[in-house]
Amino acid sequence: MINSINYKNYSQSDLLIKFQDLNGFGTLSKEDQELRDNIYIYLQQLDSQELNQDDVNKNLNPSTSIEDTLYTLGNIVSVLGVIAGSLLIVFAISEELTFLAIWGFAGILSSLISGYVLKGLSKIISLLSSLQSTNSEEQ
């Protein structure tokens, strides 16, 4: 049974259940109120420790702004190329211009290839940076 002395020996989920049980009662004895307050404070401390650990983990990881930028740029190039190529194909079909339709297909393919190259480059950079951080941790 969880009491004011041994509550720190229980898991966080057990303490949450006990805390919810204590909050469900209308009137509590002085001991139960003290236990509820202690559990609440202890859970708050556990949450702040987890947040601090997350901050440490974020600081250990290298910045991913270059990778994110390249990945986003790859998406933009792909989407804009497909839209422009499709519009060119529609215009070429309506005007019966075969050469422009071929240009539209070429534009779609080249934009997709360029977009995937940019996305692949971002993946390569992120893999190299994770490899570098792994090597630095081993030393």
Residue with tokens 């049980």: 21
- Count CA atoms within 13 Å of residue 94 on its CB side: 6
Q: What is the pLDDT of residue 113?
A: 95
pLDDT: which is higher, 20 or 119: 119
Q: Which pLDDT does position 3 carry in this prediction?
A: 55
Rounded (5°) CA angle 61-62-67: 120
Whether the full predicted model's pTM is greater than 0.95, yes or no, is no
Q: How confident is the model at residue 133 (pLDDT cuts 50, 70, 90)?
A: confident
Domain ranges in the chain? 7-59, 63-138
Give the pLDDT mean for 67-93: 91
The predicted structure's pLDDT at residue 68: 85
45 pLDDT band, cuts 50/70/90, is confident
Q: Please say whether the beta carbons of 117 and 95 come within 8 A.
A: no
Please report, rounded to a whole number, the percentage of residues in the chain having pLDDT higher than 70.
73
Instruction: Compute the distance between CA of residue 5 and CA of residue 42 in angstroms, rounded to an integer.
Output: 12
- Torsion region of 7: left, alpha or beta (phi above 0 gives left; psi -120 to 50 gives alpha): alpha
Burial of residue 20 (CB within 10 Å: 0-12, 13-18, 19+) is exposed
Q: What is the mean pLDDT of the chain?
A: 79
Tokens of 16: 């949450």
The whole-number pLDDT of residue 85 equals: 93
Find the mean pLDDT for residues 94-123. 92
Per-residue confidence at 2, pLDDT binned at 50, 70, 90? low
Looking at residue 51, its pLDDT comes to 57
Residue 103 · residue 90 · CB < 8 Å: no
95 vs 52: which has the higher pLDDT: 95
